[in-house]
Structure 1
Amino acid sequence: MKGSTNNVASALSKLASRPPTPLTRRGLTGVNGVFSRHLDYGSKQLSWLRGSLGSTTALIATAGKVGEPDMELGILQMTGPRLQAAMFGAMLLAVWLDFLQLADVVLRECPAYSIEALFVDMNRIQQRMAPTMASLASADPGQVEAATLAMPELMGQLTREFDAIRDGARRSMENQAKTFAAVQFVEMLTLASALQASLPRLPPAAPAMLGTGLVMGSGGVMAGSQLVVSAEWVEMIRRLVQAGVISIPAVSAAVRIHGGQVMMAQSNGELPEGVREALGDSPEVRAMHETGRAGAGMSENPLHHVFPRERRAWFQQRGFTGDLDIDNFCVRLEKAHHEAIHGGGNWRLGRTWPGEWNRMIMDELLRVEARTGDVLTSNEVLKIVAQRMKAYDIPMSFSPWRGP
């Protein structure tokens, strides 16, 4: 993903630095800068994409140092929304790059195509992409999942938009009796587009080409202009799905997108046969269908802060900032369970019970610091908290707090 993001960044930089044509001053950087906003929009997306990948890397590094398997898995699962958002955000940004390159070619090579019409087209397409991109950038698990599920339909719409502009440019050139070479140039752009994709039906063990966004070699490195899925990649995705890091609907949406228009049209909750085969068609996979929070029975369950919010400053002094902010360590519990660990419905009365969660966890952490004489590190805090979560039967499946 980092390689793909860097490639898109490089391509955007080249477009932004490409001078307009000498005489007519046409191109994305010409025509009085009216298309500069579209270049800027693409560049702005790189910031949150790199931030998501950086957060994922930092959390993985933290998970590897905790030394407690369940907490390690819980922290790895926290990377899921970030990684999922980055995967689909990079895909969408690659599509926007397609439109920018197409617009640049049309401006330079197709003088008969109306600049005003192209400007309106680009604004409409950006507005169509913007809500999904904003949802992905939010890093909110619910918004990311909803944007992921909507991506196949969006990609189908964008493909039709791309084809309409390309065909319009070709017709304008033909009507003006321009050179055949220029018409071919517009046609050739299709071959480099992230929107043009096919999914060969190959055995699960054989490498399969899934579209034209990234390339993954046998070592698991993605770069270039195509995504090649090897058997190793399929196995990694299968394990990430079973561990709860990446959702099955996300994998299904990605494959439908890369599978082209036919698979994009599949909007029901069942996975395409090829996805089930690639992931092993196990009971875990067959049991996973597209569903929202209400379908999963999660809509009314409260979020429990594992780390007491009234001691936020104490935890910040021990490294719980940024991606490790205590608001990222919340667990959705049944209402009765949540009240029980806090000593009942009245939290003030509950605090008089030594076993009340907030009181107990702070007493334990302060006792360990007093015994050792050293300030606990974030990894040491996580290990102690993990042991207490097991004792209180609290699952290590974290969700971020989005409340006031």
Structure 2
Amino acid sequence: MHRRRASREDETAEGLDNAERVTRQSALAAQLAFRGAVLDVSGSTRRISAELSRLKASGRGIAGVNGVFIPFVDYGAEQLRWIDAQLAATTRLVQAASEVEDPDMQLALLRLAGPRLEAAMMGSLLLAVWLDFLQFADAVLTQHLYSVERLLVGMYRWREMLEPAMTALASQEPGQVEAASQDLPALVGHLTGELATTIETVRKGAENIAKVLVLKEAIEALTMLSAMRFSLPSVPPSAPVLLGMGLSVGSDGVMMGTRIVVSAEWVEMMRHLVRAGLLSLPVVSAAVRIQAGQVMMAQSHDALPRGVREALGDGPEVRAMRQTSRTGAGMNKPPRHHVLPKEFREWFERRGFTGEMDIDQFCVEMEQAHHEAIHGGGDWKLGRTWAGEWNRMIMETLSEAEVTAGRMLTRNEILKIVAERMKVYRLPMNFTRWGG
């Protein structure tokens, strides 16, 4: 009997070890995929930054014409700043997640970084579109192929089309970011169409100029008719390579007829992030449609190729990944509970909870009854007298841990203790930002 009991205990312990190993491997895979996505967006922003600097420093083309087009380059640089700031904050959160032992807390910190990465990813795609317009303006101004006044009016109009989406992406509100992302493929498709139309107009104009130049050369060959020489704008002898190319928008900001191919590795990386709840499926689907070209830009998620949808992990459970409690049903938002008590904000700030790791980032949504239960009932003053009340319990636990350690706890040590208590109290390890 003792041998059978010992055998059952060994099997149970082995099962727990296997489950913990699988959980840790899943968290590690999600973290690696997240880092890969951050590097992918960072590489795109670096290339855009280099191109913006080149355009502004060229001294000709868009940087000429008395500098009237420079504000459009500055607008791109301004948008790049908030994208880089989001990427920097995302990188710090990823680093903080890698330093935490509990795998559930690792995923929770990555979910905090998810909306920031979504905003940066979609912002970089939209900024690549703006870079296409800047490159186009630079080419036609350099070669004097288009009216400066008409181009200036067009640039103002195209910027006005971009601004609402850029403002929503820069808001850091997950709802606004997701809504703007879903509208982005249609916007990019419309802008690409306008740019293609303008390029066709330039091409036809260039053809007419070429015909006039042929006539001019024929007339100049006759010395008797030298008085009939035309005064024409100077253009290069050969037709510009830009004309006749089918422009498309890519994540690299390359406009010379390029197409970004959605690779299997990229789809697999996105699948990990969607499955783990780190990125939302609508945002990833919008990025796929934009990067796959104009054919898919105006299509809905359901119209994506079946293989892409299956690779991303399409299904009811994935679509509802971001829906929690009554919020996903369209009802009133449930209360948000500060996991790290806000009345002890200064205490936590002295231990490293600042910036993107501020205690306002560590809130969880729960039902009203559950929220009142962990605080000892509806009256918080009476609830503080209950030893199991969350705020009292967590602060006593942290204080005792500091006494035992003989020093101030580090941020990671605090998160480890909090993660353990959250599991005991059955609090969801899915943080959301405090909304006031």
Amino acid at match of 2:358: D
Find 2:201's aligned residue among 137, 146, 168: 168
Corresponding letter in the other structure for 1:259: A
Among candidates 11, 20, 31, match of residue 65 of structure 2: 31
User: Following TM superposition, by how much is the alpha carbon of 1:174 offset from its aligned partner in structure 2, in angstroms?
Assistant: 3.1
2:430 aligned with 1:397 = yes
Aligned-partner residue type, residue 232 of structure 1: E
The one-letter amino acid paired with 1:328 is Q
2:231 aligns to what?
none
The within-5 A match list for 1:78-93 is 78-93=112-127
Q: Given residue 126 of structure 2, which amino acid in structure 1 is its aligned partner?
A: L
Matched, 1:127 2:160: yes
Structure 2 distance, partners of 1:290, 1:125, is 33
Aligned to 2:59: 19
What one-letter code is carried by the residue in structure 2 that aligns with 1:275? Answer: V
Partner of 1:341: 374
- 3-state secondary structure, aligned to 2:241: helix
Q: 1:59 to 1:14 in 2, by over 3 A?
A: same
One-letter amino acid of the counterpart of residue 53, structure 2: S
| Counterpart pick for 1:319 among 349, 352, 361 | 352
Aligned-partner residue type, residue 54 of structure 1: A
Distance 2:301 2:195 in 1: 26
Could you say which residue in structure 2 is the equivalent of 1:350?
383
Q: Which of residues 187, 190, 215 in structure 2 aligns to 1:154?
A: 187
Equivalent in 280, 290, 293 of residue 260 of structure 1? 293
Structure 2 vs 1, CA of residues 126 and 382 (structure 1 numbering), >3 Å: closer, same or farther? Answer: same
1:214 and 1:226 in contact (8 A); partners too: no
Of 307-316 and 170-179, deviating more is 170-179
* 2-structure distance, mates of 1:194, 1:315: 49
Distance 1:258 1:227, change over 3 A: closer
Q: Give the C-alpha shift of residue 397 in structure 1.
A: 0.6
Query: Structure 1 length normalisation: TM-score?
Result: 0.83
Q: Which residue of the partner structure matches residue 51 of structure 1?
A: 85
What is aligned with 1:42? 76
SS of structure 2 residue aligned to 1:186:
coil
Shift of the alpha carbon at 1:291? 8.3
Amino acid at match of 1:7: R
Please say if residues 79 and 127 of structure 2, whose CA atoms lie closer than 8 Å, have aligned partners that are also in contact. Answer: yes
> How much does 1:91 deviate?
0.8
Counterpart CA distance in 2 for 1:338 and 1:269 is 37
Matched AA of 1:240: L
Identity %: 53
AA of the residue aligned to 1:327:
D
Length-normalised TM-score, structure 2? 0.78
Which of 101, 116, 136 is the aligned partner of 1:67?
Answer: 101
- Aligned pairs, number: 368
Q: CA 1:289/1:115 → structure 2, altered by over 3 Å: closer, same or farther?
A: farther
**C-alpha distance after superposition, 1:68-90 (max 9, x if no partner):** 11111111111211111111111
Over aligned residue pairs, what C-alpha RMSD do you find? 2.6
Matching residue within 133, 136, 159 for 1:99:
133
Measured at CA, do residues 402 and 119 of structure 1 come closer, stay the same or move farther in structure 2, by a change above 3 Å? farther
Kindly state the Cα deviation for residue 227 of structure 1 after the two structures are TM-superposed. Answer: 4.2
- Provide the rounded CA distance (Å) in 2 between the counterparts of 1:226 and 1:270: 20
Residues 290 and 181 of structure 1, relative CA distance in 2, 3 Å threshold:
farther
When residues 298 and 42 of structure 1 are mapped into structure 2, their CA distance, relative to the original with a 3 A threshold, is farther
Given candidates 229, 236, 240, the residue that maps to 2:269 is 236
Task: Name the structure 1 match of 2:312.
Answer: 279
- Aligned partner letter, 2:293: G
User: Could you tell which deviates more after superposition, 293-302 or 334-343?
Assistant: 293-302
The alpha carbon displacement at 1:226 in A equals 6.2
Q: Report the equivalent of 2:241.
A: 185
Q: Deviations over 1:4-57 (max 9, x none)?
A: 11111111000000012xxxxxx2112222111101011112212112222222
Could you tell me how far 1:247 is from its partner in structure 2? 1.3
Select the structure that is richer in helix. Answer: 2
Matched-pair contact (CA < 8 Å) for 1:76–1:245: yes
Letter of the 1:165 counterpart: T
CA–CA separation in structure 1 for the residues paired with 2:346 and 2:260:
45
| Superposed CA offset, 1:181-240 (max 9, x none) | 66543326x46x552xxxxxxxxxxxxxxxx3249xxxxxxxxx7644443332222111
Match of residue 3 from structure 1: 43
Q: Is the 8 A contact 1:110 1:172 kept in 2?
A: no
Q: Cα distance, 1:352 vs. partner?
A: 2.5
One-letter amino acid matched to 2:47: N
Unpaired runs of 5+ residues, structure 2, are 1-40, 214-234
Instruction: Show CA shifts across 1:331-364 (max 9, x none).
Output: 1111221222222222223222222222221111
Query: Measured at CA, do residues 226 and 7 of structure 1 come closer, stay the same or move farther in structure 2, by a change above 3 Å?
Result: farther
Q: Which amino acid aligns with 1:400?
A: R
Residues 269 and 326 (structure 1), Cα distance of their counterparts in 2 relative to 1, 3 Å cut: farther
**Any idea what SS the aligned residue of 2:419 has?**
helix
1:213 is aligned to 251
